[in-house]
Structure 1
Amino acid sequence: MASATASRGGGRGALSAVLFYVFLTLFVLVSVFPLLWIFKMSIITRSELFQSPPTILPNNPIASEYGQIFGDPAFQQALINSVIISGATTVICLFFGAIAAYAIARLKFGFKGLIMTLILAISFFPGVAIIAPLFIQFSSVGIIDTLASVIITDVVFALPLTVWLLVAFFRELPRDLEEAAKVDGATTIQAFRKVIVPLAAPGVFTTAILTFIFAWNEFLFATTFLLTPDTQPVTVVIPNFASQYTTDYGAQAAAAVVVTVPLVIMVLIFQRRIVSGLTAGAVKG
């Protein structure tokens, strides 16, 4: 009787394992398929691109679309603009976010819960609701069609995420080393700069990756505030591979691959740190 029960339990366990791996395989295929399809669009001829029914594998792979986008001065400038916007947003968010997160995690003052709630609420605030007032305000100070307009808005919406993640990391660090540094004569700022920041380097690095990805993918403010190819990032320039009557889907697909693949590789390499950063402080308050 016991052996029969054990065999049924083992059969259910094996079935559950098979169903899990089937679901996992389907999930991975569904997630990866759009990226693979866009890559396939970027390496096929225009006649094959419009072939019906579409081909699953490319018949005659070509690389002319990649040569076209890398030879386009507008796309080259867009890549530089995206790097500047994302890099500046990341540096500013880390600088101010680390200071704010350290104060929330270590210093004693009232309304900490309310402050964290407001920080989280800002990150979910719809940007489209303030885009018109921001456009009027930025126009009045003369920063429309400058990288500063997008960097400012990206910082506003990325800073809450930066603070939230860094607070979780700082709370997990032991206070003993920090107190020892103060006993040796270090000020609070010196203890933060020389003790806390080096210890929290993995968390800071994870936060930097997530902030950079957020700024790199931003489209709404960039397409509203940046009006010329000299200032537009890649997210705005990619749809411009089109004319009044035709759209160069191959060039758009190639540009999308060039913009997306580095981020995918970055996430795959640092996925453990990213997951640990997103789950930091989930158990300990």
Structure 2
Amino acid sequence: MGDRRGLFSAGGLRFAAAAIVVINGFFPAIWILFTSLKSETELFRKPITYFPHEPTLKNYIAAAVDQPLFQVFMKNSIIVALLATVVSLVVAAFAAYAIARLNLKRRQLILTAIIASSMFPLITLLVPIFETMRALGWLNSYLALVFPYVVLNLPVCTLVLVSFFQSIPRDLENAAMIDGCTRFGTLWRVVLPLSAPGVFTAGILAFVNAWDEFLLALSLNSTAAMRTLPVGITLYQGEFTFPWPIISAALIVAIVPVAIVIAIFQERVVGGLTAGGLKG
């Protein structure tokens, strides 16, 4: 009887913990979705209506009409996020392969340095990054964001790929080299396909980081035509007005691409995170 109570108690605690995590993750998004479907009159009605009584899509239309550059912001975010993701994966793949396979001296020190480099708050790096981009003449361009995003994504992407590359038997690579593959050919034809879950995991993390980033996008690209979606949404706020329903609609539009990507690749992402944790 005591064992059953203990198991029930442990199961109850696990369920409660999982419920807290789910509510904490989904409640803000659901609240924003409901807000985007309300009129401004209903939004400020008392008592508060948690569910929209008369759902409307006018806020989504207004989000595009009231801000003529909304499509430009979306395009900029897509271009920057995709370029940063692709470049991050390419550079991280070479770095991870070198760490996992080559006989590097003080390899553990290199891994420690990679981990340490990802712990600096972004605000402390803002001034050096800004000065570097200004010296290169890259301000108000895609490169002004892509290059810093790649640098910021590299530690995580490299660590994820290292754990997968280390789990692949060297015999497979040796067999490929005997058949005439070069090191690059082995990486491209053998290692990366076998590490597909890790590649997808690193790619999703890099894409989400680049898509959601606000501070650098606000500081490095000041012209309206080069702003990304997170920064562009702030332009809906007026001096004396704050149109919450329209802003919520724009936020939902910004969330949709990330949600679609994660929904499509969720099995690979979860498998990649789990396998990476076990193999690392």
Pick the TM interval, shorter chain: over 0.9
Q: Partner of 1:66: helix, strand, or coil? A: helix
Cα distance in 2 for partners of 1:49, 1:267 equals 30
Q: Does 1:66 align with 2:63?
A: no
Which residue among 185, 190, 193 is the counterpart of 1:195? Answer: 190
Q: Does 1:153 align with 2:148?
A: yes
The residue number in structure 2 matching 1:111 is 106
The Cα of 1:217 is off from its aligned counterpart by 0.7
Q: Partner of 1:89: helix, strand, or coil? A: helix
Alpha carbons of 1:70 and 1:136: their partners in 2 closer, same or farther (altered >3 Å)? same
Cα distance in 2 for partners of 1:255, 1:159 equals 30
The Cα of 1:261 is off from its aligned counterpart by 3.2
Cα distance in 1 for partners of 2:139, 2:234 equals 21
Amino acid at match of 1:88: L
Alpha carbons of 1:208 and 1:281: their partners in 2 closer, same or farther (altered >3 Å)? closer
Which residue among 134, 155, 180 is the counterpart of 1:139? Answer: 134
The residue number in structure 1 matching 2:7 is 13
The residue number in structure 2 matching 1:3 is none
Which residue among 160, 163, 167 is the counterpart of 1:168? Answer: 163
Q: Partner of 2:139: helix, strand, or coil? A: coil
Q: Does 1:207 align with 2:202?
A: yes
Contact 1:171–1:281 at 8 Å: present in 2 too?
A: no
Q: Does 1:130 align with 2:144?
A: no
Cα distance in 2 for partners of 1:281, 1:28 equals 23
> Any unmatched runs of 5+ in structure 1?
1-6
The residue number in structure 1 matching 2:33 is 39
Q: Partner of 1:104: helix, strand, or coil? A: helix
Cα distance in 1 for partners of 2:209, 2:150 equals 10
Amino acid at match of 1:122: S
The residue number in structure 1 matching 2:83 is 88
Deviation sequence 1:213-243 (CA, Å, 0-9, x none): 1110111100001112210011101111111
Cα distance in 1 for partners of 2:151, 2:5 equals 54
Which residue among 229, 236, 239 is the counterpart of 2:234? Answer: 239
Larger Rg: 1
The residue number in structure 1 matching 2:97 is 102
The residue number in structure 1 matching 2:45 is 51
Q: Partner of 2:234: helix, strand, or coil? A: helix
The residue number in structure 1 matching 2:223 is 228
Contact 1:79–1:233 at 8 Å: present in 2 too?
A: yes
Alpha carbons of 1:186 and 1:27: their partners in 2 closer, same or farther (altered >3 Å)? closer
Amino acid at match of 2:138: I
TM-score w.r.t. structure 1 length? Answer: 0.91
Alpha carbons of 1:116 and 1:248: their partners in 2 closer, same or farther (altered >3 Å)? same
Larger deviation, residues 208-217 vs 138-147: 138-147
Cα distance in 2 for partners of 1:49, 1:80 equals 30
Contact 2:218–2:231 at 8 Å: present in 1 too?
A: yes
Amino acid at match of 2:208: I
Q: CA RMSD in A?
A: 1.9
Cα distance in 1 for partners of 2:189, 2:279 equals 25
Cα distance in 2 for partners of 1:152, 1:169 equals 25
Which 4+ runs in 1 deviate beyond 6 A?
none
Q: Partner of 1:62: helix, strand, or coil? A: coil
Amino acid at match of 2:18: L
Amino acid at match of 1:93: S
Q: Partner of 1:59: helix, strand, or coil? A: coil
The residue number in structure 1 matching 2:24 is 30
Q: Does 1:251 align with 2:273?
A: no
Contact 1:154–1:215 at 8 Å: present in 2 too?
A: yes
Contact 1:172–1:281 at 8 Å: present in 2 too?
A: no
Amino acid at match of 1:54: I
Contact 2:133–2:144 at 8 Å: present in 1 too?
A: yes
